[in-house]
């Protein structure tokens, strides 16, 4: 075991009993490493800062029950990796939806049928958002319409960040599954109708 790992173990023991100074030391020591990891992949400073914050908030909240089997930095990097992965998934869904909506509004229909398909998609999307479970719908709207971060949504809805993430993942999965036929339709229209 290296000196760094044993020092981290001591700090984590102190954190588990609520020592905020020990937490600040860990935060100061690893914040930049986690930020650089996230920024290298996302290239969006504010989003990455929010994700790093979420990692440390979760570390503090789960401190009493936390069992780290590898090094602390390994654990933190893994947490950050999952945050980045979920953000990329969320961003991909959001961009596809926004691109589709902007394409559908600028699409000059060669026929009435294509225009009706796009109108039907917009109506179906609106309906599916309305049918989302209550908390998932609230979290999804705050994220998509107001572009709030997960910590901001958590504060607004008085939930934990991880609960907000679960609601967003659930909402995205439901919408993706229920609107799948429209994405196939868009692919067909874009590739064969122009």
> For the chain, which domains are there?
3-84 (1.10.1740.10), 107-192 (1.10.10.10)
Write down the pLDDT at residue 52: 92
Rounded to 5°, angle at Cα 172 from 170 and 175: 105
Cα distance between residue 25 and residue 11, in whole Å: 8
Judged by DSSP in three states, 153 sits in helix
pTM over 0.75: no
Write down the pLDDT at residue 181: 64
Cα distance between residue 11 and residue 97, in whole Å: 44
Write out the two tokens for 91: 């961003």
Weakly modelled stretches of the chain, pLDDT under 50: 1, 107-113, 185-194
Cα distance between residue 46 and residue 35, in whole Å: 10
Query: Are residues 30 and 47 in contact, defined by beta-carbon separation less than 8 angstroms?
Result: no
Looking at every residue in the chain, the average pLDDT score rounds to 79
């Amino acid at each position: 075991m290296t000196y760094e790992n044993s020092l981290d173990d001591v700090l984590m023991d102190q954190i588990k009993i609520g020592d905020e100074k020990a937490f600040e030391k860990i935060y100061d020591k690893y914040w930049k490493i986690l930020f650089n990891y996230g920024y290298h992949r996302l290239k969006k400073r504010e989003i990455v800062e929010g994700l790093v914050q979420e990692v440390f908030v979760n570390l503090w909240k789960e401190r009493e029950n936390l069992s780290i089997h590898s090094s602390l930095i390994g654990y933190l990097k893994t947490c950050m990796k999952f945050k980045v992965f979920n953000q990329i998934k969320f961003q991909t869904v959001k961009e596809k939806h926004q691109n589709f909506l902007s394409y559908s509004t600028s699409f000059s229909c060669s026929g009435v049928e294509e225009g009706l398909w796009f109108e039907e998609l917009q109506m179906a999307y609106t309906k599916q958002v309305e049918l989302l479970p209550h908390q998932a719908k609230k979290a999804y709207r705050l994220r998509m319409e107001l572009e709030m971060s997960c910590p901001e949504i958590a504060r607004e809805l008085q939930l934990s960040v991880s609960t907000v993430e679960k609601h967003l993942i659930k909402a995205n999965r439901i919408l993706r599954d229920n609107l799948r036929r429209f994405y196939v339709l868009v692919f067909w229209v874009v590739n064969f109708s122009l």
